[in-house]
Amino acid sequence: MKKISILLTIFAMVCVANANLLTNGDFEDSAGSGWSQWWGGNSNKYVDDPIEGDHCAGVWWNDDGIFQGIAIGAAKYTVSGQMMHGGLGNGRIGLIKAEVGDGVNIWWVQEIQITENSPQDTWISGSTVIDNTAAGATYLNINLFMWDTAGWGSGVGVVRYDNISVVPEPASMALLALGGLLLRRRR
């Protein structure tokens, strides 16, 4: 019985460690569940993916974006995703911005970005690691948007987003599972 409990715990740990904490990170839900739009006029949570033939999100002006927030604990999280631009110009960049804090205040920000010099009409993957093991943040907000570094209204472009994920690192999950095993053993 003890071996079965350990095997089930390891199996659950591997499943949870690879789980995306975001809802609809691949944007295949036509209702756009999990995501909210800043304003809604210059972005969409469900647009056609011109390369893969499925769906993705899109932002085509720098005054709009898409976001999703989740509760986090003391662990490391890998934030990753894909971006593609269709003709960014004049200092515009596409961003996946991870804002870490307490749900009211932002404590720190980490970004993944593409620029007008990135290959056009090609999915580009990126990732960053959020280390919240000692910081004590309780909230992670993921923003998908375009930023105009040259000033409002200059240039054109569209940025598409797909396969956005926030995944707890396996080492953090392993420590949590090990703690659970020790608690069970004490009983």
Query: At residue 8, does pLDDT exceed 90?
Result: no
- As a whole number of angstroms, the distance between CA 134 and CA 126 comes to 25
Q: How far is CA 68 from CA 13, 103, 114, 123, 177, in A?
A: 25, 12, 20, 21, 27
Q: What is the rounded (10 degree) CA torsion for 137, 103, 162, 15?
A: 50
Which tokens in the block code for residue 146?
A: 């375009």
| pLDDT single digits (tens) 103-126 | 999 999 999 999 989 999 999 999
Query: Could you give the number of structural domains in the chain?
Result: 1
Which of the residue ranges 43-52, 62-71, 90-99, 170-179 would you say has the lowest mean pLDDT? 170-179
**Model pTM?**
0.82
- As a whole number of angstroms, the distance between CA 50 and CA 153 comes to 26
Domain interval for residue 147: 21-168
Higher-confidence residue: 16 or 60? 60
Q: Is residue 6 part of a domain?
A: no
Q: Is residue 123 part of a domain?
A: yes
Query: At residue 77, does pLDDT exceed 90?
Result: yes
| pLDDT single digits (tens) 28-40 | 999 999 999 998 7
Separation of first and last alpha carbons in the chain? 15
Q: How confident is the model at residue 71 (pLDDT cuts 50, 70, 90)?
A: very high
Q: For position 114, which CATH number holds?
A: 2.60.120.260
**Which range among 6-10, 116-120, 146-150, 153-157 has the greatest average pLDDT?**
116-120
- Give pLDDT, residue 140: 97
3-class state of residue 163 by DSSP: strand
The fraction of the chain above a pLDDT of 90, given in percent, is 65
Q: Is residue 10 part of a domain?
A: no
Residues making up the chain, counted from first to last? 187
Q: Is residue 177 part of a domain?
A: no
